[in-house]
Structure formats: C-alpha cells, structure tokens
Amino acid sequence: MAVPELHRLTLDNGLRVVLAPDRTAPVVGVSVHYDVGFRSEPEGRTGFAHLFEHLMFQGSESLEKLAHFRYVQGSGGTFNGSTHPDYTDYFEVLPSAALERALFLEADRMRAPKLTQENLANQIDVVKEEIRLNVLNRPYGGFPWILLPPVLYSTFPNAHNGYGDFTDLEQASLEDCAAFFDTYYAPSNAVLTVAGDIEIDRARELIEKHFGDVPARPRPVRPSFAEPRPETELRGTHVDPHAPLPALAVGYRMPDPVNEVDGYLSHLVLAGLLADGDGSRLQQRLVHREPLVTDINAGAGLFGPFEARDPDTFSVTAVHPPEVSADRVLAALDEELDTLAANPPDEQELAKITARWSANLHAEHDRLVSRTLALGSFELLYSDPALVYGIADRIAAVTADDVSAAAKGLRPDSRAVLVVQPEGGAQ
C-alpha cells in the first residue's frame, strides 16, 4: 500500500517531530512521547513513572492547576496520558483551529511543570486510590501484568510492579521529581507528533515558536534491560482474596520486538491462532471440547503489541474450576503447542487470523487519536513512524512455517507459571 504523507524533523534542542497531514476532517491530534517508562524508574521508587505522569497534569510555571483541562475541553477537545514499560505519552485531540493551543500546552509543561509538595501529596493519594480500585480490591487485579513479571524475570527493571508499592510512593520527594524531570523530560528524549488537518509549513512554524526555546538538555543514556532467558520452568503462587476461581498465567520470552520484528509478528499471529475467537484452538479444546477452563486468552506483548522494547512476554492466561488442576491445563496447552510445532496451520486458518489483524489495525488507525499515538511510539521505539502503515502487510506475510517455529519456541523448560489461588483455596 502507498504510505500516507509523513514529514520528520528535529529541532535544535533535539526534539523529534512527526507530521502526518490528513485533511478529511477538521480535527488534529497532538501527542508527546517521552522515552521513559516504568522500566526506567529507580529502584526503591516503584510506580514513580506513573506518578510523574499524574504530576504533569497539575499545572506549570505559567499555568495554574486545572488550566490544561479547561483549555482543551473549552476547545471541544479531549486529552489524556498513559505510562508504558518504555515510554510515557500525553495527547490531545481537538478541532484543528485549536492546534496552537495544544502545542502551547504541551510545550509549556515540557518547559517547567509545577512541582509542589501539595501537588505531590495529592497525586500520591490519587495513585494509591487508583491501585486500590484497579488492583487490590478487584478480582484478578494485576493479573497477569503485575504478578507474572517477577516470576519470569529476575532484574528490577523487568520484574517490579510498575503501578507502585505504597511505601515507595509515599517516600517520593520533590527532589526525586525534579531529578526525574531533568533527566528524562528533556526535549531530546521526546517525540512530538501532530496528525490530522494541518498545513505543513504552518505547523512547523508553530512548533518552532512554542517548542524551539525549550532549553536543550542531554539525552539520557538508555541502559539495556536484557537478561538471560529462563533455563528451567519457574513457578510462583499468588493468593487472591477476591478471586472466585483459580487461575494461571504462563509467560514465555519473545523475540526482540524492535530488532526481530518478523519473529515478533509471528508470535502475534500465534496468539490469534491459540485464543482469538470461538474457533481458536485453545477455545475449542479447553472451553468447548473437554472443558477445562472458563476463560482462556493468549497475548504477544504483556501490555499489548508494539508497547515495549526487549525483553517482552508472550502470555497465556486461564481461569479454571477448582476441580481442574493447573498442571492439567498446562498439559493441554503444551499438547496444542506441540501439535502446532509439528504441523503448521493450513492456509485458511492462517488467513483468517492475519485478515483479522489487518482489519483491526486499519480500523484502529482510522481513529485519529490511535494513529497519532502509534506514529509517535513507532518513531520512539523503531525510529520509523512509516512502519505503522506497513505492519498489516508484514503480518499478512507471516507464513504457516513461521507460526510453527514460534510455537516450537514456547517450551515448558523455559517459561514462568503463575498460579492464582482464591483465598482459602488449594491447588
């Protein structure tokens, strides 16, 4: 397919810019991706990257608290931010007439967010309440994205809880915040993306006007988070006081998402063959034929596809009745993987999965907010925003033998198994 128009530039302060004009509607998307996620937060400060994302909405040196909210919503726009393993993003979608307003707001907080003791204390409480709602007081909270990594990985960046431990959050100081901002929120460590109804020369002019004088700072050296793959099966247990049924999560290491793209994509297709829809192999066997589980899912990328650099995780999760043991579910999973490893899927089964992936990607990128965020993250992770438009074709090129090879790599002697037990239950 023809790649839609894209323009890339770098400002003198190091800020990378992606411009993606699309004049089909009078709407514009603006995002800023910073090359820092929870894998980069310091030991003893779990949850700090996510906490800092909250602080970036608490005003700046030139705008009072809640001004960002009022200016975006007053323009008829929406906004948000999110923290990922390897980056944090912020975005607005608003009428194209309000482009300069969005650029001003993002440049203003890139220059100097309002870091005060009051804002810090308030946002620590907000994050703690978010953890209570989403993890501590919810059945299967943190399953598997918080609970599985410490079983599969051994290093702090890969294994720790990115949502944060209450004690670590409470010990966060203004000095920690200032150091984190100075280190990671430099223009040279960020990507600005502007997509939608824009005129290129005018957009460049506005970007230079608002971001050009943000002081340059050195781009931090990003360490490698690589660690050896497991050489045996690793097991862990978590007691969940709210879970009505036992569950298990199985984690395997995947090919490098950035430097082994085609191997990574083979695992995306494998996940679809295993558990995407009623006709998938694990759904058919474990839910309908035997049945051993009440729910089964498989995913390539613990936080979704194209969310992280290496290392990343292929996971299979299942909820099962108490009378079915975790080992019985694992045995069925291994048999299905062995079957796929020995007998590649037929073309019809493969085409169904790749067509679904292609359709979903095209539908997602039809949404301006999704397209804006994808272009920014692909520039950050791959240094190639145009790859966003080529991924569907790359997935369509995955062969049956590629999927078979991916299944062969998911070995029982190189995986993590997390068993979730209801409180008072036993496996």
Among 187, 196, 169, which residue's Cα sits nearest to residue 16? 187
Give the C-alpha separation, 147 to 418, whole Å.
Answer: 8
Q: HEC states along 266-292? A: HHHHHHHHHHCCCCCHHHHHHHHHCCC
pLDDT value at position 427? 45
- Stated as kind and residue range, the H or E segment containing 113 is none
Q: At what angle do helices 261-275 and 347-366 cross, to 10 degrees?
A: 110
> In which region does residue 211 sit, left (phi positive, over 0), alpha (psi from -120 to 50) or beta (all else)?
alpha
Fold of 7-211: Cytochrome Bc1 Complex; Chain A, domain 1 (3.30.830)
Q: CA-to-CA distance for 236 and 419, rounded, in angstroms?
A: 6
d(CA 294, CA 296): 7
pLDDT of residue 4: 87
Q: What is the pLDDT of residue 424?
A: 72
pLDDT tens string 159-180: 999 999 999 999 999 999 999 9
CA diameter of the chain: 66
Two structure tokens written together for 341: 């490893």
Q: What is the pLDDT of residue 189?
A: 98
- Which DSSP symbol is given to 153? -
Q: CB neighbours of 346 closer than 8 A, spacing ≥ 6?
A: 400
Q: What are the structural domain ranges in the chain?
A: 7-211, 234-422
Torsion of CA 279, 281, 284, 290, to 10 degrees: 180
Quote the CA–CA distance of 372 and 31 in Å, as a whole number.
7
CATH 3.30.830.10 fits 234-422, yes or no: yes
* pLDDT (0 to 100) of residue 425: 59
Check: CB of residue 218 under 8 Å from CB of residue 188: yes
For 26-61, the pLDDT digits (tens) are: 999 999 999 999 999 989 999 999 999 999 999 998
CA torsion 69-74-77-79 (nearest 10°) is 0
CB atoms within 10 A of CB 290: 13
Q: Could you tell me whether strands 295-300 and 247-253 are parallel, antiparallel, or unpaired per DSSP bridges?
A: unpaired
Strands 190-196 and 313-319: unpaired
Determine phi and psi for 290, rounding to 5 degrees.
-85, -45
- Tell me the pTM: 0.96
Low-confidence ranges of the chain (pLDDT < 50): 426-427
